[in-house]
């Protein structure tokens, strides 16, 4: 027998929980589905940019949440490319929060907000528009609206061919190392032929500070994280004494494309909408803000103040205005990495001589601070 809700959110990561909490706190009956089980690690840079911290506090429901207050602060970004090191300030400082802890905290906050939360439940197919019927591994559910936050691959999205030259492999693990490296207040990006690797301190299992290393490499460049760490000479030297805190994770294929915020009658958020270049450090922020924005725009329809199409159009317009510029600017920076080495060196020299220029380039990949309008 099917069960009725105002909103079904598919995916229990930052984007899905942000949407579920926002809608539930405004009085909507919300079902949140997650095909995995918490807690679990995810391939992720674990960089929470400054502009999303206020929203994260609100979602967690505690003004001084220890997950945020005790997180290592990242005050610098260091770029290692073509034998040069460019140091760029992060003002105000970002937070470094493990997805193992972040996702679990947001899942619990969803439950506390009154969301009906189901783990180990896979969305299979969607029928109808509104109300629609969602077929899952746990039975059928009906709802007035659907938000898809299930990541890059979803049963609700048509499969698209991916050329070999657009396939990337994501790799990630936490490492124990000498205490000095774990107290660095910077996120370090090591660029090499065929990819890059980000390294930053993060509070791991048991509250011990470890290093998070997350790499994105083209298919065929490296199959394991340990191989990716050797592709940059300075990173290879730095990682000689690293001891893994858990087995390395991988995800494939990762496809970098422009986002699609609305698909048919479904709002898409986070990686379901589009995967942003990890080196800009905005993936978690885009997911949180996209989920919040989707719920905010779908609520008038749930409250019968407008049509579903009007809500979808409002979400698409707001997404394109506030979040899409991040994708566009990050793709421009990705193209820069493909320039001849001489041009890259000239640009890096300019950034070294003008910290303000470097800061402007970083600022171009940030989205503006969002006002909290939900009830």
Instruction: Provide CB contacts within 8 A for 4, sequence distance 6+.
Output: 29, 131, 141, 142, 143
Is 81 a residue whose pLDDT tops 90? no
- 80 versus 166: the higher-pLDDT residue is 80
Strands 262-263 and 186-192: unpaired
Q: Band the pLDDT of 284: cuts 50, 70, 90.
A: very high
Mean pLDDT of all residues in 261-266: 95
Mean pLDDT of all residues in 69-94: 89
Task: Give the CA distances from residue 261 to residues 51, 99, 264, 295, 322, in Å, rounded to whole numbers and listed in that order.
Answer: 21, 23, 10, 13, 12
Per-domain residue ranges for the chain? 3-61+82-161+256-363, 173-254
Structural tokens at position 227 = 């191989």
pLDDT score, position 337? 63
d(C-alpha 39, C-alpha 68), whole Å: 17
Mean pLDDT of all residues in 35-57: 92
- 78 versus 313: the higher-pLDDT residue is 313
Mean pLDDT of all residues in 76-81: 89
pLDDT score, position 86? 84
Is 187 a residue whose pLDDT tops 80? yes
pLDDT score, position 184? 74
In degrees, to the nearest 5, what angle opens at C-alpha 181 toward C-alphas 178 and 183? 110
- What is the distance between the terminal CA atoms of the chain, rounded to a whole angstrom? 32
pLDDT score, position 209? 87
pLDDT score, position 375? 47
In degrees, to the nearest 5, what angle opens at C-alpha 182 toward C-alphas 180 and 187? 115
pLDDT score, position 181? 65
Lowest mean pLDDT segment, chosen from 142-146, 147-151, 252-256, 288-292: 252-256
Q: Residue 351: how many CB atoms within 10 A of its CB?
A: 20
Find, among 278, 322, 321, 21, the residue nearest to 147 by Cα.
Answer: 21
Mean pLDDT of all residues in 22-32: 97
Mean pLDDT of all residues in 4-33: 97
Q: Band the pLDDT of 87: cuts 50, 70, 90.
A: confident
Q: What superfamily in CATH does domain 3-61+82-161+256-363 come from? A: FAD/NAD(P)-binding domain (3.50.50.60)
Q: Kindly report, residue by residue over 286-332, the tens digit of the pLDDT.
A: 999 999 999 999 999 999 999 999 999 999 999 999 998 887 776 65
pLDDT score, position 133? 94
Structural tokens at position 371 = 């006002």
d(C-alpha 85, C-alpha 130), whole Å: 54
- For the chain, what percent of residues have pLDDT higher than 90? 62
Q: Strand, helix or coil at 239?
A: helix
Is 247 a residue whose pLDDT tops 70? yes
- 105 versus 338: the higher-pLDDT residue is 105
Rg over alpha carbons for the chain, rounded to the nearest Å, is: 20
d(C-alpha 35, C-alpha 288), whole Å: 19
pLDDT score, position 90? 87
pLDDT score, position 131? 86
Q: Kindly report, residue by residue over 324-364, the tens digit of the pLDDT.
A: 888 777 665 666 666 566 666 665 566 555 666 555 555 54
Instruction: Provide CB contacts within 8 A for 303, sequence distance 6+.
Output: none
Provide the whole-model pTM.
0.90
Is 107 a residue whose pLDDT tops 80? yes
Q: Is 304 left (phi over 0), alpha (psi -120 to 50) or beta?
A: left
The helix (run of H) or strand (run of E) holding residue 302 is helix 283-302
β-pair partners for 74: 94
Mean predicted lDDT score pLDDT of the chain? 86
Q: Kindly report, residue by residue over 203-232, the tens digit of the pLDDT.
A: 877 778 899 999 999 888 999 999 999 999
Mean pLDDT of all residues in 21-25: 98
d(C-alpha 58, C-alpha 17), whole Å: 12
Lowest mean pLDDT segment, chosen from 19-23, 262-266, 280-284, 338-342: 338-342
- 368 versus 19: the higher-pLDDT residue is 19
d(C-alpha 303, C-alpha 151), whole Å: 28
pLDDT score, position 15? 97
Is 1 a residue whose pLDDT tops 50? no
pLDDT score, position 82? 84
């Amino acid at each position: 027998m099917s069960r009725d809700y105002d909103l079904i959110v598919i995916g229990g990561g930052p984007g899905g929980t942000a949407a579920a909490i926002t809608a539930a706190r405004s009085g909507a009956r919300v079902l949140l589905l997650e095909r995995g089980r918490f807690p679990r690690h995810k391939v992720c840079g674990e960089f929470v940019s400054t502009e999303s911290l206020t929203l994260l506090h609100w979602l967690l429901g505690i003004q001084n949440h220890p997950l945020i207050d005790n997180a290592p602060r990242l005050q610098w970004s260091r770029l290692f490319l073509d034998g040069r090191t460019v140091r760029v300030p992060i003002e105000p400082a970002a937070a470094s929060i493990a997805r193992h802890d972040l996702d679990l905290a947001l899942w619990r906050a969803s439950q506390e907000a009154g969301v009906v939360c189901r783990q180990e439940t896979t969305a299979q197919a969607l029928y109808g528009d509104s109300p629609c019927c969602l077929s899952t591994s746990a039975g059928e559910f009906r709802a007035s609206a659907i938000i898809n936050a299930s990541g890059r691959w979803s049963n609700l999205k048509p499969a698209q061919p991916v050329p070999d030259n657009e396939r990337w492999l994501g790799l990630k693990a936490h490492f124990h190392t000498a205490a000095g490296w774990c107290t660095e207040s910077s996120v370090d990006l090591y660029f090499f032929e065929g990819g890059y690797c980000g390294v930053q301190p993060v509070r791991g299992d048991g509250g011990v500070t470890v290093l998070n290393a997350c790499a994105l490499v083209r298919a065929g460049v490296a199959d394991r994280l340990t191989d990716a760490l050797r592709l940059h000479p300075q990173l290879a030297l730095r990682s000689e004494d690293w001891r893994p805190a858990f087995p390395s994770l991988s995800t494939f294929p990762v496809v970098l494309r422009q986002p699609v915020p609305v698909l048919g009658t479904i709002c898409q958020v986070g990686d379901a909408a589009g995967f942003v270049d990890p080196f800009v450090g905005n993936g978690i922020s885009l997911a949180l803000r996209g989920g919040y924005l989707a719920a905010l725009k779908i609520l008038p329809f749930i409250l019968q103040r407008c049509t579903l199409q009007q809500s979808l159009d409002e979400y698409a317009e707001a997404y394109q205005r506030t979040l899409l510029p991040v994708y566009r600017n990050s793709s421009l920076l990705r193209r820069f990495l493909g320039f001849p080495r001489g041009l890259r060196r000239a640009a890096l020299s300019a950034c070294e001589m003008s910290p303000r220029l470097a800061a402007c380039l970083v600022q171009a990949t940030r989205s503006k601070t969002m006002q909290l309008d939900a009830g």
